[in-house]
Amino acid sequence: MAAYNPMELMICVAARELEDGKTVVVGTGAPCAAAMLAQKMHAPNLIVVFEAGGVGPLLPTMPISVGDSRTFYKGIMASSMNEIMEMCQRGLVDYTFLGAGQIDAYGNINSTMIGKDYSRPKVRFPGSGGANDLASLCWRTIVMTPQDNRRFVAKLDFLTTPGYLSGKGAREEAGLPPGTGPYRVITDLAVIGYAEDSCRMQLLSLHEGVERETVQERTGFELEWAEPVGVTAAPTKEELRILREEVDPYRYVIGR
């Protein structure tokens, strides 16, 4: 079995979620690496979209920002942030990737602050950027993040980005498009989905060598569990070769 680190594992698992012919809005870093790997492995017609306006580029190397000139290289369209958000609003974007300072059982995300006083937080995060719009309007939201009970919390300190809000039907009641919402959370321990009846996080598969108790200990709320719980397929030699040699040869992301 090939050796790999947690970041490589998360990127390979995330790449497998992206189907050929779909559209995905990505930022830089691990989400971009996952999209590039998917294109090179099994989804050559995956349309990668960047918030600053690049649509469908053939990325020559890893961009360093969403406005990097490489995000427009041989693309379908060089547009603007307004047009990208309009694409999402019109239902034309299948997937988006997000990170999370905090995330709760319903997939709601805090990327604003830690603490009880907004004016004097313990930690100030960058804020939403386009995350609120993307999670509100794209069909499926995938989160990639390490798993620990400081990040996976029962109650957010601040709601930046909506998941399923308070449960089934709450997104629609708030005016968000029906059928949209959280889809997967990919961590260094497991692959997590959402139960259809409750819209709470439901663990789908454990990564090789990870115990159920470890995942629950690193989660600040009670997880639901699929029946049966699967085992995540390890990265293949070919996935790792392409990731290391073609996607991120300078180890900007996988070297973290």
Q: Has residue 162 got a pLDDT over 90?
A: yes
CB 100 within 8 A of CB 151: yes
Looking from the CA of 22 toward its CB, the CA atoms found within 13 Å total 20
Q: Has residue 209 got a pLDDT over 70?
A: yes
pLDDT value at residue 28? 87
pLDDT digits (tens, 9 = 90+) for 70-111: 999 999 999 999 999 999 999 999 999 999 999 999 999 999
Q: Show me where the domains of the chain are located.
A: 6-247
Q: What is the mean pLDDT of residues 55-68?
A: 92
Q: What is the mean pLDDT of residues 112-132?
A: 94
Q: Has residue 1 got a pLDDT over 80?
A: no
CATH number for the region 6-247 comes to 3.40.1080.10
C-alpha to C-alpha distance for 232 and 74, rounded to whole angstroms: 35
Residue 143 binned pLDDT confidence (cut-offs 50, 70, 90): very high
% of the chain surpassing 90 pLDDT: 95
> What sign does the CA torsion over 201, 133, 94, 233 have?
negative
pLDDT value at residue 245? 97
pLDDT, mean over the chain: 96
Q: Has residue 2 got a pLDDT over 80?
A: no
pLDDT digits (tens, 9 = 90+) for 177-192: 999 999 999 999 999 9
The one catalytic residue among 51, 208, 217, 246 = 51
* No. of helices (H) and no. of strands (E), the chain: 7, 14
Q: What is the mean pLDDT of residues 56-68?
A: 92
Q: What is the DSSP string of 112-125?
A: SEESS-TTS-SEE-
245 is catalytic: no
Residue 35 binned pLDDT confidence (cut-offs 50, 70, 90): very high
Alpha carbon of 58 to those of 85, 92, 168, 178, 249: distances in Å? 21, 20, 38, 32, 17
Q: Has residue 37 got a pLDDT over 80?
A: yes
Q: Has residue 256 got a pLDDT over 90?
A: no
